[in-house]
């Protein structure tokens, strides 16, 4: 296979080149913000405790958090609870354009790293804070992605009636980090006009509300509560997962009258096309009770590959049901540079999906593998003016790693 490698992100100047970000983040939300800014060219310095970000050691579904959300970053491992450690961190922040964090407000206040304190030192500083809730009655609560999915209607919409189900990805953490990055870039633009920075806040709960806003507005427009997705009245006559030959599954869609004509012609279903009960899309929606079982019987004779080929030939929407691990071999991702070679902190080689955008026709590639703990500590200390002896002393005192 002729595999197109994603271009190195430093092959030409990137939008945020020259911007320095210092982040105090863990888990997913905060690191996602830094990853987006780093992929766009910012120098992102991940400040970690001497034990490292806890996501470095997560098992199961959390095992991919660290390598995915911490690429293109540098690692400084330091004891921030010590006076000398805080001195180093404050010197580093003095060189930064953006500080990003997703710890409890009290934690940052105790360390003297909250926005109210830092803005007194640099009015140009942009401070991105990732929280569970924006300020209000809930802001004292501890939130997780699953918590806000449950209380914010998303789990209700994803699951079957009486069986709320979280989405199969950390959607609020990831999107919340993205909105933090969007806010940071907006603040950079405004700082160019005013000369002053500001605090940016992004939150899991409010992000979740944005995700379900379409269902809220559906109620506002129709006066009828949105049904969970598995039980909803589909706006399309055919919009379903079909079990076909050899037990395979495929999603097939026929979403308009022109597509209905194409579908019937492609499969020789002249009888269905002539049936007055299914002439229009709305007719087919109302006829789903008998139409979908009829189509299941007709289509079960085909393999998934045969249906994929025929739907693709005539331009109809389709999707084989795919497990995530098989996407590493997806020909589209492989041939369009959607995956970049990466070396994991333990030395193993893999690939990683890139941001889903192009700039000037190019994907934003990988400049730095996810860093080993403290990989850039000495380099960063020297850049802050610490001599070789001073760096050695900080190591000897277990201030840095």
Burial readout 5-18 (b: 16 or more C-beta within 10 A, e: otherwise): ebbebeeeebebee
pLDDT of residue 11: 65
Burial readout 95-107 (b: 16 or more C-beta within 10 A, e: otherwise): ebbbbbbbbebee
pLDDT of residue 234: 82
β-strands 43-48, 199-203 pairing: unpaired
Q: Read off the tokens for 316.
A: 């109809």
pLDDT of residue 2: 31
pLDDT of residue 381: 98
β-strands 358-359, 362-363 pairing: antiparallel
Task: Give residue 348's Cα distance to chain centre.
Answer: 23
Query: Which domains are seen in the chain, by residue range?
Result: 9-213+339-396 (3.40.50.10540), 234-324 (3.30.1540.10)
Cα(134)–Cα(148) distance, integer angstroms = 12
Residue ranges in the chain whose pLDDT is less than 70:
1-11
User: Model confidence over 299-337: pLDDT tens digits?
Assistant: 999 999 999 999 999 999 999 999 999 999 999 999 999
Q: Are 376 and 350 in contact (CB under 8 A)?
A: no
Distance between start and end Cα atoms, the chain? 43
Cα(308)–Cα(47) distance, integer angstroms = 48
Q: How many CB atoms are located within 10 Å of the residue 373 CB? A: 18
For the question of whether the overall pTM of this predicted structure is more than 0.85, the answer is: yes
User: Model confidence over 258-283: pLDDT tens digits?
Assistant: 999 999 999 999 999 999 999 999 99
Cα(20)–Cα(184) distance, integer angstroms = 12
The CA dihedral of 95, 101, 106, 111, to the nearest 10 degrees, is -30
Q: For all residues of the chain together, what is the average pLDDT?
A: 95
């Amino acid at each position: 296979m002729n595999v197109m490698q994603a271009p190195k992100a430093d092959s030409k100047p990137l939008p945020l080149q020259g911007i320095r970000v210092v982040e105090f983040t863990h888990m997913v939300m905060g690191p996602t913000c830094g990853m987006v800014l780093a992929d766009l060219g910012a120098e992102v310095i991940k400040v970690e405790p001497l034990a490292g970000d806890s996501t470095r050691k997560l098992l199961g579904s959390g095992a991919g958090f660290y390598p995915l959300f911490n690429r293109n970053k540098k690692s400084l491992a330091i004891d921030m609870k010590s006076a000398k450690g805080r001195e180093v961190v404050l010197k580093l922040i003095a060189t930064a354009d953006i500080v990003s964090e997703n710890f409890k407000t009290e934690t940052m206040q105790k360390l003297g790293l909250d926005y109210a304190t830092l803005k007194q030192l640099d009015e140009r500083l942009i401070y991105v804070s990732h929280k569970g809730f924006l300020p209000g009655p809930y802001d004292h609560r501890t939130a997780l992605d699953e918590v806000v999915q449950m209380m914010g209607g998303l789990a209700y919409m994803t699951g079957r009636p009486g069986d709320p189900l979280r989405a199969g990805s950390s959607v609020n953490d990831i999107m919340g980090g993205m909105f933090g990055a969007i806010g940071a870039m907006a603040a950079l633009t405004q700082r160019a006009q005013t000369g002053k920075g500001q605090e940016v806040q992004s939150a899991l709960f409010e992000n979740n509300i944005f995700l379900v806003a379409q269902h809220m507005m559906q109620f506002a427009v129709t006066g009828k509560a949105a049904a969970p997705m598995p039980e909803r009245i589909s706006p399309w006559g055919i919009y379903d997962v079909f079990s076909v030959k050899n037990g395979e599954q495929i999603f097939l869609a026929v979403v308009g009258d022109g597509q209905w004509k194409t579908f019937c012609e492609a499969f020789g279903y002249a009888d269905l096309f002539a049936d007055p009960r299914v002439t229009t899309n709305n007719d087919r929606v109302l006829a789903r009770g008998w139409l979908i079982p009829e189509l299941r019987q007709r289509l079960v004779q085909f393999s998934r590959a045969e249906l994929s080929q025929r739907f693709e030939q005539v331009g109809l929407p389709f999707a084989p049901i795919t497990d995530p691990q098989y996407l590493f071999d997806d020909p589209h991702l492989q041939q369009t540079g959607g995956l970049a070679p990466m070396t994991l902190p333990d030395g193993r080689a893999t690939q990683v999906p890139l941001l889903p955008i192009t700039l000037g026709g190019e994907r934003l590639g990988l400049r730095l593998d996810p860093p080993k703990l403290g990989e850039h500590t000495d380099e960063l200390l020297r850049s802050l003016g610490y001599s070789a002896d001073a760096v050695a002393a900080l190591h000897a005192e277990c201030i840095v790693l």
